[in-house]
Amino acid sequence: MIAKRIGLGLLTLWLVATLVFMVSGALPGDAAESILGQDATPETLAALRAQLGLEGGELARYFAWLGGVVTGDFGFSLASGRPVADVIATRLPNSLLLAGLAALVAIPVSLVLGIASAMKPGSLFDRLTTLLSVVALSTPSFLIATLIVLVLSVWAGWFPALANVEGASGIAGHFRVMTLPVLALSLSVIGQMARMIRAILLGALREPYVETAILNGASRLHATVFHALPNVAGPIVNASALSLNALISGVVFVEVIFAYPGLTKLMVDSVAARDLPLMQACALIFCAGFLILVLIADLIAILANPRLRAR
């Protein structure tokens, strides 16, 4: 079953790689036009295209690119001339740090909000949490990030509007720089995750074994934490892993708005420069991250549910 999941993931990654190559190749202009500008002569453009390897048929370039991807060679950046792997290696740790900090904030907060709401459905806290979750879900990530900058940076002046990680020094400096991006990214996940945890727990709290525990003298908190929660740990972890996929889409807007030197900002810059090898590699990394989270969610669901292991 695990091998089947991995095989489906690799097949999906190949389909996405093919789609990314086709879409990127259909973009207007190319790296030669971006480098030389609009005043370049056709002869100069042709010479630079030949130097950058942009000549030749699409099919031949596709198989050459796909063979490099399989062997881990993404080629060279058309804008800087450096290997794509080296360019990505300078930005990927920053994106992983941002996503990891956002997950460390979003998961505990979502668990607390979801459990507290499920314990007292219909209460003022539950209605307020549901309202805020719906607002967070219906608000685009770029708008959340913009509002956070407006309130906490422009009006209050507590944190810098730009995430200049390289210029920060010490723990306090990095904390001030990372607070707004982490807050903006985690808010886009907390709403969805808290609602899913609440829905899963509400179903478990109606089960007879939980009602029996309460009738035997256990408090609702004790019955929730020690009886209901362990039995739905698999679905909750599965739902949480799927909710964390929102980090992949949310990080696109967060890194651009805060000028955070991450992988998404690099991909946006590569699109503007028509740097196809760099853009294609970044897109594949995001797709692979999404597939890894889905695979982890499936494996956790299989381990937590004996019926899935018996299939």
Q: What is the DSSP string of 110-169?
A: HHHHHHHHHHSTTSHHHHHHHHHHHHHHHS-HHHHHHHHIIIIIIIS--S-SS--TTT--
CA distance 276 to 267: 10
User: pLDDT band at residue 231, thresholds of 50, 70 and 90?
Assistant: confident
Q: What is the CA radius of gyration of the chain?
A: 24
- What is the average pLDDT value for the chain, to the nearest integer? 77
Cα separations (Å) of 114 from 128, 201, 293? 12, 8, 21
188 phi, psi to nearest 5 deg: -70, -15
Coil, helix or strand at residue 219: coil
Q: What is the pLDDT of residues 240-288, one digit of tens each?
A: 777 777 777 677 778 888 888 888 778 877 777 777 778 888 888 888 8
Residue 56 token pair:
């030749």
The tens digit of pLDDT for each residue in 150-195 reads 888 888 888 888 777 776 677 777 778 888 888 888 887 888 888 8
